[in-house]
Chain A
Amino acid sequence: SAVISQKPSRDICQRGTSLTIQCQVDSQVTMMFWYRQQPGQSLTLIATANQGSEATYESGFVIDKFPISRPNLTFSTLTVSNMSPEDSSIYLCSVLWQGRSGGGEAFFGQGTRLTVV
């Protein structure tokens, strides 16, 4: 399994500013993902961030708004740019851990609770 640390755990930000969220993993992993969980809702995948390639964004999410870095196999950042109150959510980092059976299980960080005022 993998242990994931996210920083900050929470923040309150002014609209129009940007926040960078860091995700540190205790093992080397190829596949990393960023999710958003808006209040009272399910998890929505923002992008896949595999080391050595550009992040791949899901429909409705763009690089200008959510730039992602993946400099090595244990670290990634997600920036929420030019924030508005609609960006208030929990942002979660996730890594895929593949077991011997070949299946892949997602492990999640504790999340970053962002409030934009």
Chain B
Amino acid sequence: AQSVSQHNHHVILSEAASLELGCNYSYGGTVNLFWYVQYPGQHLQLLLKYFSGDPLVKGIKGFEAEFIKSKFSFNLRKPSVQWSDTAEYFCAVNANTGGFKTIFGAGTRLFVKA
């Protein structure tokens, strides 16, 4: 069965610090990968997605993620975080052969200190 692991449950950073959130998935087939963000009290929003092609994907708000197939990883990065990035971040995966069910990681709660 598909599963998604996010390594960090809580991250605290100061403004301007660099961010990297880890995500690993377990599925051997062709996968589609996503990062979603949920700001406090708000709905889920797509940050970026990977279907195929360039493994370095750029998303909104200065976020990017790198797909490393050999490591089954899709880590999220941002070179310099802002206070407004305080939110919960979810890694998710679906696959053509998995009925396209999108499975979510447990989430990482990021708090950025002003």
Contacts and interface: CB of A to CB of B under 8 A. Distances in A.
Interface string A65-108: 00000000000000000000000000010101001011111101
Interface of B: 32, 34, 43-44, 46, 49, 51-52, 90, 92, 94, 96, 99-107
Contact of A42 (B43, B49, B100, B105): B105
Contacts of A44: 104
B107 A102 contact: no
Given A48-B99, A108-B44, A42 B106 contact: yes
A106 to B, nearest CB: 4
Contact of B102 (A41, A94, A111): A94
Interface residues of A, number: 22
B100 A31 contact: yes
A99 B102 CA distance: 16
A92 B38 CA distance: 14
Contacts of B96: 102, 104
10 contacts: A31-B99, A33-B101, A42-B107, A43-B44, A43-B104, A45-B102, A103-B49, A103-B51, A105-B32, A110-B43
A56 B98 CA distance: 13
Interface centre among B44, B90, B94 (most CB of A within 10 A): B44
A105 B46 contact: yes
A104 B44 contact: no
B32 A104 contact: yes
Contacts of B104: 42-44
Given A103-B52, A106-B34, A111-B43, 6 more contacts: A31-B99, A41-B107, A42-B107, A43-B44, A103-B51, A105-B34
B50 to A, nearest CB: 8
A99 B99 contact: no
